[in-house]
Amino acid sequence: MIAYCEDCGDEYPEGRFALGITICLSCGEHQARLKAQARSKQIMPMHKSNYVYLGSDISLHRQKAREMANKVIGI
């Protein structure tokens, strides 16, 4: 059985297909890069503290993080 990538349509090794992976290595690397870039925007430094992971709903989490920061510095 020949496995074809869902994204680009190229063939990829049957071993990847047997593991349940439906995309080729180059498309997988591209998707991983995009995810890493998106996650890097979901991290916010806290005042006199460490970095906080904001999760998927960035706007809500950023607002909560700012509120927490304002409470810490007394604004």
Rounded to two decimals, what is the model's pTM? 0.54
For the chain, the C-alpha Rg in angstroms (whole number) is 20
Q: CA 6 from chain center: how many Å?
A: 20
* pLDDT the model gives residue 18: 92
Tell me how crowded residue 22 is: count the other CB atoms within 10 A of its CB. Answer: 15
Statement: residue 63 has pLDDT above 80: no
Contact residues for 56 (Cβ-Cβ < 8 A; gap 6+)? 42
**Residue of higher predicted confidence among 19 and 73:** 19
Give the pLDDT confidence of 3-57 residue by residue, as tens digits.
999 999 999 999 989 999 999 999 999 999 998 887 777 777 777 778 777 766 6
* pLDDT the model gives residue 9: 92
d(CA 45, CA 54): 10
